[in-house]
Amino acid sequence: MFYTVEILGTIAFTISGVLVAMKMRMDLFGILIIAFVTSVGGGTLRDLLIGNSPVFWMVDMMYTYVILVSALFAIIFRNKLNYLRTSLFLFDTIGIGLFTVIGIEKGLSIELHPFICIALGTMTASFGGVIRDILCNEIPIIFRKEIYATACILGGVVYFILREFPIDDNWVFIISGLVVILARLLAVKFKIALPTVYSNTLD
């Protein structure tokens, strides 16, 4: 199940990267590069921080194949994605939900403190998008007022709360990921955002 979820997260983030790259009207090479860094950027940082080398996608070619197939699928069927912004948001949200719990599990596997595990999950989920946005010359969404990393942290907290109850680990995994996804969906739907330190009149 863990491997399957990681593959699903890779697919979601790959499509997210393709949609951003197409919005920027990049060529095929640019689209593939953005798709790749979006899908494995956060996991690469995670593995480097915990000393897992070579990083995951270098020792398992399945990730490369999945990224290439998913990217080509998104390019070929781009006309079916009529609502580009909605599709981007949806796939990005699914990606952070799946990758948050994956990062937490990785931290637990080497017996890190729960706080560090949550931070690791948040980085796994967020930093592929950060690299994507920087390469596309945009302010990363994690640094704006939208609920993004906060949703990952919330899912991480729920994960460790659920572990205190006699609940199957698979359900803990699923529920925590859904909490991240629902938190971001609800935040956008109801326009919930973090407070800003800037006034409306600030130049």
Q: What's residue 85's pLDDT?
A: 61
| Region of poorest pLDDT, from 48-62, 82-96, 173-187 | 82-96
The domain of 47 spans: 2-189
pTM of the model: 0.87
Beta bridge partners, 146, equal 193
Instruction: Identify whether 169 is part of a domain.
Output: yes
Quote the CA–CA distance of 142 and 192 in Å, as a whole number: 15
Q: What's residue 145's pLDDT?
A: 62
Q: What's residue 60's pLDDT?
A: 95
Tell me which of 176 and 12 has the higher pLDDT. Answer: 176
Chain Cα centroid distance, residue 147? 13
Chain Cα centroid distance, residue 6? 11
**Token pair of 84, please?**
């580009």
- How many domains, in total, are found in the chain? 1
pLDDT in tens, 113-152: 999 999 999 999 999 999 999 999 988 878 776 688 999 9
Q: Which long-range contacts (CB under 8 A, 24 or more apart) does 102-107 make?
A: 102/2, 102/5, 102/6, 102/9, 102/43, 103/42, 103/43, 103/46, 104/156, 104/159, 104/176, 105/2, 105/173, 106/46, 106/47, 106/50, 106/52, 107/50
Instruction: Identify whether 143 is part of a domain.
Output: yes
| 199: pLDDT strictly greater than 70 | no
**Token pair of 141, please?**
């969404």
pLDDT in tens, 64-95: 999 999 999 888 887 776 555 677 788 889 88
Instruction: Identify whether 37 is part of a domain.
Output: yes
Q: What is the mean pLDDT of residues 54-68?
A: 95
Instruction: Identify whether 82 is part of a domain.
Output: yes
Instruction: Identify whether 202 is part of a domain.
Output: no
pLDDT in tens, 19-50: 889 989 999 999 999 999 999 999 999 999 99
Instruction: Identify whether 121 is part of a domain.
Output: yes
Instruction: Identify whether 35 is part of a domain.
Output: yes
Q: Residue 200 gets which letter from DSSP? A: T
Instruction: Identify whether 203 is part of a domain.
Output: no
Q: Residue 80 gets which letter from DSSP? A: G
| 52: pLDDT strictly greater than 80 | yes
